[in-house]
C-alpha cells in the first residue's frame, strides 16, 4: 500500500502489518488533503501541490499536468478536496463549497462540476453500484445518491491549447445531447483572447468571427448537455468532410 506524507510518499510491502517493509519513493509529491486519497485499479490517487497524482507499480504520474498548470490547480484550493472513485472516474468535491471536479481516466478529460448541495463525504457500494454522498442542505445533513437523477449537474471543461500555423477558424460544431432543455456554452479562445461565446442547444454548426489570425487555440464548454465531439474548421463545409 501507499502512504502519502507532507514530503515523499512511501510504498509498503508485506503480507502482515507487523512485518511490512517501507520504501521511500524517489520523488517529492506531498499530499495536501488526506480526504482526496482514493484507491483504484491502477494505483493510489491524491491531491498534491502540482495536481492530481497517481502512484502505482509503474511509478508516479501527475494526471492533470497536461490539463491544468500548477497555478490553475492551486487556484482550486486542493487542500479542501475530498475524493472518491466511481465508474473509472475520480470524483472530487471541495469542502464547504458546491464545486467539484471529475477526471475520466479513459478519456483523460477533466471537467468542473457544480453540485446542488455541499458534499462532505462519499461512499461507493459495489453491491448496488451506487455512489452515496453525505451533503449539507440548509443546515440539515442528508444522504443523496449520485445516480438518483434530479437536476442536471453544471460542468465547465477547457481543452488543452492547440498550436497551429497562423490562420483563422471560421466554423465550430458541438455534437451533444440537447434533449430536455439541455444546452452548453461554447467559448473559443485564440492566442489567449476570448473571440467567441454562444449558447448551443442543437447539433448544427455555427460560424465563428473572422478578421484575425491566431496560432494558439482552445475551447471552453460549460452547461448541462453531454458533449460527444467539438470540432473547429476553417469553413462549415470542412466540418462535414
Give strand pairing partners of 157.
111, 221
| Residue 35, number of CB atoms within 10 A of its CB | 20
pLDDT in tens, 170-197: 999 999 889 888 899 999 999 999 999 9
C-alpha cell at 222: 460549460
Grid cell 482552445 is found at 218
Q: Could you read off the pLDDT of 201-211 as tens digits, one per residue?
A: 999 999 999 99
Average pLDDT of the chain to the nearest whole number: 84
Cell numbers at residue 225, please?
Answer: 448537455
| Tally of CB atoms within 10 A around 124 | 16
Residue 83 forms beta bridges with which residues?
92
Q: Which band of pLDDT confidence, cut at 50, 70 and 90, is reported for residue 116?
A: confident
Considering Cα of 102, then 103, then 104, then 107, what sign does the dihedral take?
positive
Amino acid at each position: 500500500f501507499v502512504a502519502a506524507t507532507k514530503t515523499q510518499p512511501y510504498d509498503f510491502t508485506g503480507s502482515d502489518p507487523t512485518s511490512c517493509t517501507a520504501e521511500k519513493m524517489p520523488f517529492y509529491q506531498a499530499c495536501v488533503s488526506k480526504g482526496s486519497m482514493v484507491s483504484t485499479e491502477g494505483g493510489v490517487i491524491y491531491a498534491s501541490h502540482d495536481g492530481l497524482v497517481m502512484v502505482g507499480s509503474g511509478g508516479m504520474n501527475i494526471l492533470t499536468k497536461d490539463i491544468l498548470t500548477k497555478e490553475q490547480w492551486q487556484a482550486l484550493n486542493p487542500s479542501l478536496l475530498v475524493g472518491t472513485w466511481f465508474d473509472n472516474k475520480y470524483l472530487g468535491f471541495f469542502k464547504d463549497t458546491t464545486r467539484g471536479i471529475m477526471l475520466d481516466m479513459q478519456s483523460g478529460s477533466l471537467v468542473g462540476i457544480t453540485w446542488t448541495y455541499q458534499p462532505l463525504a462519499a461512499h461507493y457500494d459495489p453491491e448496488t453500484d451506487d455512489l452515496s454522498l453525505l451533503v449539507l442542505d440548509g443546515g440539515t445533513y442528508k444522504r443523496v445518491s449520485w445516480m438518483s437523477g434530479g437536476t442536471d449537474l453544471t460542468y465547465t471543461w477547457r481543452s488543452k491549447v492547440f498550436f497551429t500555423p497562423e490562420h483563422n477558424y471560421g466554423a465550430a460544431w458541438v455534437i451533444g445531447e440537447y434533449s430536455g432543455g439541455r444546452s452548453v456554452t461554447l467559448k473559443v479562445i485564440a492566442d489567449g483572447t476570448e473571440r467567441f461565446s454562444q449558447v448551443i442547444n442543437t447539433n448544427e454548426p455555427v460560424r465563428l468571427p473572422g478578421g484575425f489570425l491566431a496560432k494558439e487555440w482552445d475551447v471552453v464548454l460549460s452547461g448541462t448537455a453531454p458533449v460527444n465531439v467539438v470540432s473547429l474548421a476553417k469553413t462549415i463545409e470542412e466540418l462535414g468532410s
